[in-house]
Structure 1
Amino acid sequence: MNFSSELVDLLKNKKELTSDNKAADAIPGMNSGNLSKIRKGLDGRHLNEEQALYIAAECGLNPQWVLVQLAEEKARSEEAKAVWSNLAKKISKSVVAVALTISLVFCGFQSDNSESAVFA
C-alpha cells in the first residue's frame, strides 16, 4: 500500500468515514476517480501537498514528516527515495525526543529514594 492510500485510511478512521466516496468528499480537491487511482497505484497518482497537509492536520500528524513521506513516495529514483526515507527517519526520531522532553517537563518524575525513577 502506498503512503497516500495510508493517509486516506487514517482520515477515514479518524472521521469514521465508511467509504472512499465519503473520504474523497472530505479531502480538498479530491474526487472519487482520483482516489480510486491512488488506491490502485495508477497513473502515478498521489495526494498533493495540500491534501496531505489537510489529512495531517485532521489526524494530528507531524506535517513535516507527512510531506517528507509524500516526497519519498513521489521520488522516481531509488537514490532519491533513500534520501527522503533517511530524512523521514530523522524527523521521526526528533519528534519522539521532543515528546519525551515535553512529557518529562510537564509530568516530571518522582523518586522514592530507591534506585529507580517513577514517572508521574
Structure 2
Amino acid sequence: MSFSYELIEKYREFKGYKQDKQVCADMNVSTGNVTDIKKGRRHLTANQCIYLCNQMGIDFKPALIELAKEKSKTKEEKAAWEEVAKKISAACVAGLLLLTASITQVQGPLKRIRNYP
C-alpha cells in the first residue's frame, strides 16, 4: 500500500468516515482520483498531504518526506530522501538529549528528605 493511500486511510479512520467519497468531498477531489491513489497510479500532492495532516493534528513535515520518497523515480533519489529523513531523526534525538541533560543539571540530584519525629 502506498504512503498516499495510507494517509487517506488514517484520515478516514480519524474522521469516522465509511466511504472514500466522504474523504473526496473534504479534499475537493474526484473519487477517481482516490481510486488512482489506491492503485498506485497517482500520489497525493504536497498541498493535499499538508491538508490531511493539519486536519488530523499531526506534523506534516515527516509526511512530506515520505511523500517525496514515494514519488521518487530513481533509486538514488529515494536513497537521498531516506538520508534526509535519517539526518532529521538524528538531529531530533540529539536535541532531546541536550534538553534532557540541561533539565537534569538545573534540577540537580534528587535528595532524600527525612522526617524526624
User: Do the two structures share a fold, i.e. TM-score over 0.5?
Assistant: yes
RMSD: 2.7
Structure 1 or 2: more strand by fraction: 1
Q: TM-score, normalised by structure 1?
A: 0.73
Larger Rg: 2
Of structures 1 and 2, the one scoring higher in RCO (CA 8 A, sep 6+) is: 2
Quote how far apart the aligned CAs of 1:2 are: 0.6
Q: How many residues align?
A: 108
Unmatched 5+ stretches in structure 1: 115-120
Render the CA deviation track for 1:30-72: whole Å, top value 9, x for unaligned: 2110000000112xx1000110000111122222211111111
Letter in 1 for 2:5: S
Quote how far apart the aligned CAs of 1:113 are: 4.8
SS where residue 36 of structure 1 aligns? helix
Change (3 A) 1:83 1:39: same
Q: TM-score, normalised by structure 2?
A: 0.75
Percent identical among aligned pairs is 33
Unmatched 5+ stretches in structure 2: 113-117
